[in-house]
Amino acid sequence: MFNEFNLENFENSKIELETLLNSSRKKIDELLEIEEKSYENFVKPYQEIGESINEFITPIFHIDSVKNSEITQKVYEDCLPLISDYETEISQNDNIYTSLKDIQDKSYTSLNDIQKKVLENEIRDFKLSGCHLDNNKKSRLKELNLRLSELSHKFSQNLLNATNSYEMIIEDFEDVKEIPQSDLELAKFEEEGKTKYKFTLQMPSYIAYITYGTNREKREEIYKAYTTRAPENGKLIEEILKLKDEEVKILGFDNYASYSLATKMANSEEEVVSFLEELAKKGEHRALEEIEEIKEFAKKDGINDIKSYDLSYYSEKLKKAKYDLDEEYYRPFLEQNSVLNGFFNFLYEVFNIKFTQANAKTWDDKVKVFNISEDEKTIARIYIDLEARSDKRGGAWMNNWHSYYIDKNGKEQLPTAYIVCNFPPSTQNTVSLLRHSDVVTLFHEMGHALHHLLSNVSEPFVSGISGVAWDVVEFPSQFLEYFAYDKEVLKLFAKHYKTGEVLSDEAIDRIIAAKNFQSSLSMLRQVEFALFDFMLHQKLYTNEDEIQKLLDGIREKYSVIKPPKYNRFQNGFSHIFAGGYAAGYYSYKWAEVLSADAFYMFIDSGKVLNRELAVKYKNIVLKNGGSKNMDELFFEFANRKPSVDSLLKIDGIIS
Rounded to the nearest angstrom, the gap between the alpha carbon of residue 313 and the centroid of all alpha carbons in its chain is 26
**Could you give the residue numbers annotated as active site?**
445
Sign of CA dihedral 50, 51, 52, 53: positive
* Amino acid of residue 552: D
Alpha carbon distance 20, 29 (integer Å): 14
CA atoms within 13 A on the CB side of 189: 10
Q: Which of 429, 422, 432 is nearest to 338 (CA)?
A: 432
Task: Give φ, ψ of 34 to 5 degrees.
Answer: -65, 130
Alpha carbon distance 47, 51 (integer Å): 6
Helix (H, G, I), strand (E, B) or coil at 307: coil
402-441 as b/e: b if 16+ CB within 10 A? bbbbbeeeeeebbbbbbbbbbbbbbeeeebbbbbbebbbb
Q: Is the distance from CB of 425 to CB of 418 less than 8 angstroms?
A: no
Contacts of 171 (CB under 8 A, 6+ apart): 194, 196, 197
Beta bridge mates, 277 = none
Alpha-carbon distance values, 491 to 39, 324, 439, 483 (Å): 50, 19, 13, 12
Q: Which of 642, 603, 645, 646 is nearest to 621 (CA)?
A: 642
Contacts of 562 (CB under 8 A, 6+ apart): 308, 555, 556
Contacts of 320 (CB under 8 A, 6+ apart): 326
Q: Which of 245, 221, 23 is nearest to 148 (CA)?
A: 245
Alpha carbon distance 325, 318 (integer Å): 9
* Amino acid of residue 28: I
Alpha carbon distance 11, 69 (integer Å): 12
Q: Which of 457, 372, 399, 419 is nearest to 113 (CA)?
A: 457
Residues in the chain: 655
Task: Give φ, ψ of 621 to 5 degrees.
Answer: -85, -50
Alpha carbon distance 559, 9 (integer Å): 50
Beta bridge mates, 163 = none
Rounded to the nearest angstrom, the gap between the alpha carbon of residue 182 and the centroid of all alpha carbons in its chain is 27
Alpha carbon distance 73, 160 (integer Å): 12
